């Protein structure tokens, strides 16, 4: 790919375009001689914005078609929201991880404690449903899909009293409003595995023009790998109300694993330490510690009670 034109694929949503345009701008800054163009690819998930994601693939549905376009040469690279990617890397591709954005969810429309009893809240995420029910079992939580502007519109027009969105996406799309969007504390509302993290992907034998601290970050790659390891090894599916959040605490990584029953009335959240260095043995030891504390057994109970799991 060196010194050749660079075609970056993207979905056509406001957020996908914003993320891709940011990456394009940085690549042009790093390598001003390179011709870089944006190629919009419509995915199955974009064409059907009403069916639950799990009905046509779940996690990875927005990513797989872009990955196929890289592999067959229609595009050279793509920018993904890492939380949308499948739990295992796709053969023939490699990833770069830029510095992570804010990881927390926000409640659009009203602070959680100020929502009226029985308020209607929109989200399509089983994790968010269970977390909201754990905190506010009185809420009327209803399914909501669509791109970021569609979901915002549903709150503005009164269809929902509030909707839950990722703060990172709102900020990247320049739609975040601190007077309207209220943080859900990540220590209580564990963010989705990989939330706030972008991944730039290209063919394995090629390289993108990147710069440490801008388009790639060794630390954020490590955090992303840690989160994905636990989600993969514990077998989180697209129906599972669960998340892993890894953050730096002192000279180590604290990995929080949060699994909830669908109705939020039962949950198990534990924190295990992981080394900052890239040692697989540390991850296996941390996983064993989580299992000893009942994590896998509780997960089996949750999956047995989760529709479609």
Catalytic site residues?
A: 84
Q: How far apart are CA 235 and CA 228, in angstroms?
A: 10
Distances (CA, A) of 105 to 18, 75, 210, 309: 19, 32, 29, 24
Q: How far apart are CA 200 and CA 230, in angstroms?
A: 22
E-strand stretches of 195-308? 198-203, 242-249, 252-260, 267-275
Sheet holding 242-249, edge to edge: 242-249, 252-260, 267-275
Nearest C-alpha neighbor of 8 from the set 87, 83, 70: 70
Beta 181-184 vs 162-166: how paired, if at all?
unpaired
Distances (CA, A) of 232 to 10, 224, 237: 26, 12, 9
Running DSSP on this structure, what letter comes out for residue 262? T
Answer whether 6's CB lies under 8 Å from 36's CB. Answer: yes
Q: How far apart are CA 181 and CA 109, in angstroms?
A: 6
Answer whether 213's CB lies under 8 Å from 238's CB. Answer: no
């Amino acid at each position: 790919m060196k010194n050749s034109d660079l075609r970056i694929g993207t979905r056509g949503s406001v957020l996908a375009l914003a993320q891709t345009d940011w990456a394009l701008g940085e690549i042009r800054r790093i390598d001003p001689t390179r011709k870089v163009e944006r190629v919009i690819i419509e995915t199955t998930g974009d064409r059907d914005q009403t069916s639950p994601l799990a009905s046509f693939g779940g996690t990875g549905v927005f990513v797989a078609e872009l990955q196929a376009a890289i592999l067959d040469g229609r595009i050279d690279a793509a920018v993904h929201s890492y939380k949308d990617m499948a739990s295992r890397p796709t053969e023939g591709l490699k990833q770069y991880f830029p510095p992570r954005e804010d990881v927390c969810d926000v409640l659009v429309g009203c602070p959680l404690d100020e929502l009226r009893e029985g308020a209607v809240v929109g989200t399509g995420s089983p994790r968010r449903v269970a977390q909201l029910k754990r905190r506010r079992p009185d809420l009327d939580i209803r399914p909501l899909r669509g791109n970021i502007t569609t979901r915002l519109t549903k709150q503005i027009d009164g269809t929902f009293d509030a909707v839950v969105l990722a703060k990172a996406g709102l900020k990247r799309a320049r739609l975040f409003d601190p007077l309207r969007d209220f943080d859900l504390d990540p220590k209580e509302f564990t963010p989705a595995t990989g939330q706030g993290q972008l991944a730039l992907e290209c063919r394995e034998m090629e390289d993108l023009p990147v710069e440490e601290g801008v388009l790639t970050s060794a630390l954020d790659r490590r955090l992303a790998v840690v989160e994905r390891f636990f989600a993969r090894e514990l077998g989180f599916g697209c129906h599972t109300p669960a998340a892993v959040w890894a953050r730096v605490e002192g000279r180590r990584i604290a990995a929080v694993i949060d699994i909830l029953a669908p109705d939020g009335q039962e949950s198990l959240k534990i924190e295990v330490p992981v080394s900052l260095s890239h040692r697989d043995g540390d991850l296996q030891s941390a996983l064993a510690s989580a299992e000893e504390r009942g994590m896998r057994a509780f997960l089996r109970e949750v999956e047995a009670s989760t529709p479609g799991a």
